[in-house]
Structure 1
């Protein structure tokens, strides 16, 4: 069974398949997703495994998007950007919603889940408090393409934290090129 079809199964069926050795659990924050044991562990699989319950207008972002893209470090919580006025008013453990507009050109559709592009993810991580080593790991896993850093710098222009983000990306370029 493909991972895409797992969302339609009842929790009891998923548990039974896991006990039979057909699925492996994928733990991220407080969410538990399942992946078929014979399925390649791709970005699409990672996005779909945690994308259950993400609003149609939602976009996985920041460290969650980094994990979807590179599979290295599971995020401490699932970070979801939603358009202004679409914020969830209920608390969902392990999920953090932010009201922020993510332009279509800064999104990629993986399976049925929108995720910020590599460049947008690098820009978001660089301007935040994410350790530079984590930003470097994402950049290296993406092939260390200089044009990707240039695109991330362009995305930062005019945004909060853009000065520090550009400085961090410049430092990253010096150590990875």
Structure 2
């Protein structure tokens, strides 16, 4: 019996030319920076494993990258966002397509798909609520999709944000939660 291939193949497994040829032959499809067999339905672990080319051992996929892994976006973000624990002190610039920042993160905020670490859906929702910048309609829709797909309630987010001390963007997150509670549901 032939050995089974990994659910997601990357340039670490086969040369890119061979992967592209298999894609053109219809044997595999592109998923992020990886490829999956047409026999595989795209799921969170496939999206996470496709990050294998970009993610260093201490990297944790976060924010929009984690939202994509958890199914809130239909395609991967243009720039992949990773964090490392502030104690890791690893701030490597991997490529222009990768942002890495140091954060305070607890083990309970991280889940693993093989060797790839990703923030949990709840931590991802809180990070999106705390993020600087415009809270545009598409960002709100992505957040709500993440919450719906992972059975996260606004009250759960509010309680988690309120329980954290010295949380950057805490007031912004609470204001956005209040606005979402007051917004009419469609």
TM-score category of the 2 structures, normalised to the smaller one: 0.7 to 0.9
User: In the alignment, which of 75, 78, 100 is matched to residue 77 of structure 2?
Assistant: 75
Number of residue-to-residue matches in the alignment: 171
Report the secondary structure of 2:70's partner residue: helix
Answer 1 or 2: which has greater helix percent: 1
Which has the larger Rg? 2
Structure 1: which 5+ runs fail to align?
none
**Aligned equivalents of 2:52, 2:115: Cα separation in 1:** 8
**Aligned equivalents of 2:70, 2:145: Cα separation in 1:** 11
Structure 1 runs of 4+ aligned residues shifted over 3 Å read 4-7, 144-148, 154-157, 173-176
Structure 2: which 5+ runs fail to align?
none
Whether 2:116 is the aligned partner of 1:113: answer yes
The equivalences for 1:139-150 within 5 A come to 139-145=147-153, 148-150=156-158
**Aligned equivalents of 1:151, 1:38: Cα separation in 2:** 41
Cα displacement (A) at 1:154:
4.1
Deviations 1:2-46 (A, max 9, x none): 32455422223312321221111124xxxx321211112111100
CA RMSD between the two structures? 2.4
User: In the alignment, which of 143, 156, 167 is matched to residue 159 of structure 1?
Assistant: 167
**Aligned equivalents of 2:163, 2:125: Cα separation in 1:** 10
1:8 alignment partner in structure 2: 13
TM-score relative to the length of structure 2: 0.79
| Paired residues of 1:78 and 1:95 also in contact (CA < 8 A) | yes
Whether 2:6 is the aligned partner of 1:34: answer no
